[in-house]
């Protein structure tokens, strides 16, 4: 049920994004604003798992034509930053590295641009926990995990000068539907929807 609520929320966010993108005539916007060929957009963000992960990311976008865009998204996530010592369980380290590439389209408006990408890449997660309960034996466990990562990304750029504000949302899809079409499998995905805010730089 929780997953269904997340899903509904995501759909509404995407619908809203599409609607916002269409407030102004794209044709008119393009007449005043040239297509940005190449941008770099460093950002910070959180995941939707109650905001306990901190993300440092960068999106590099290349738009060779009006409607066709390519992107590379890299991020370093410090996971579970607010709960590193819980019930005698210490998190020694917990981070993820993500690298994804995507293809998509961009719609241009008067003061903003909206891009939608299908992203594919990998995610590496590394963490260690130690149980330090004084009444029990000390036990540590370290886990490293390399997973495929694919999903949908929405990116909004606001402002038309060299520097602009940028907002991104990434909805990871893996392991659905590769491992199973059961909605329960998307538990991790729904906790890892990324919301990122930053400042972009127009290179070309």
Q: Which residues bind another protein (CB under 8 A)?
A: 3-4, 7, 11, 14-15, 18-19, 22, 49, 52, 79-80, 83-84, 86-89, 91, 94, 125, 127, 129-131, 133, 135-137, 139-141, 143, 145, 147-148, 174-175, 179-188, 191
3-state helix, strand, coil in the chain (%, to 5): 20, 55, 30
- Comparing CB distances to another protein, the nearer of 44 and 122 is 122
Q: Which is nearer to another protein, 10 or 39 (CB)?
A: 10
Residue 84 or 158 having the CB closest to another protein: 84
**Residues contacting 198, CB < 8 A, separation 6+:** 41, 42, 43, 44, 57, 165, 166, 168
Which structure tokens are listed for 85? 């010592």
Shortest distance, position 38 Cβ to another protein, whole Å:
27
Q: Which residues are CB-contacts of 56 (< 8 A; sequence separation ≥ 6)?
A: 42, 43, 44, 75, 76, 77
Task: Report residue 129 as tokens.
Answer: 């926990």
Q: Which is nearer to another protein, 31 or 180 (CB)?
A: 180
Please state the closest distance from residue 23 (CB atom) to another protein, in A.
Answer: 8
As measured in angstroms, the least distance from the Cβ of 173 to another protein is 11
Identity of the residue, 3 or 74, whose beta carbon is nearer to another protein in the bound complex? 3
What minimum distance in Å lies between the beta carbon of 201 and another protein?
Answer: 30
CA 71/CA 101 separation, integer angstroms: 6
* Residue 12 dihedral angles phi and psi, to the nearest 5°: -65, -40
């Amino acid at each position: 049920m929780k997953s269904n609520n997340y899903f509904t929320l995501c759909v509404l966010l995407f619908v809203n994004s599409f609607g916002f993108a269409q407030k102004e005539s794209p044709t008119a916007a393009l007449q005043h604003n040239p297509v940005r060929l190449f941008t770099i957009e460093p950002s910070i963000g959180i995941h939707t798992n109650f905001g306990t992960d901190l993300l440092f990311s960068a999106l590099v976008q290349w738009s060779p034509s009006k409607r066709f865009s390519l992107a590379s998204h890299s991020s370093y996530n410090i996971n579970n930053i607010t709960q590193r010592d819980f019930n005698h369980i210490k998190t020694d380290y917990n981070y993820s590295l993500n690298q994804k590439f995507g293809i998509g389209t961009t719609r241009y408006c008067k003061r903003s641009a909206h891009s939608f990408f299908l992203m594919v890449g990998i995610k590496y997660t590394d963490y260690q926990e130690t149980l330090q309960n004084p009444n029990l034996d000390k036990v540590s466990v370290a886990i490293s995990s390399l997973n495929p990562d694919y999903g949908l990304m929405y990116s909004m750029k606001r402002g038309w000068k060299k520097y602009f504000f940028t907002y991104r949302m990434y909805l990871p899809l893996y392991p659905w539907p590769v491992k199973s079409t059961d909605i329960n499998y998307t538990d991790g995905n729904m906790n890892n929807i990324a919301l990122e805010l930053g400042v972009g730089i127009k290179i070309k």
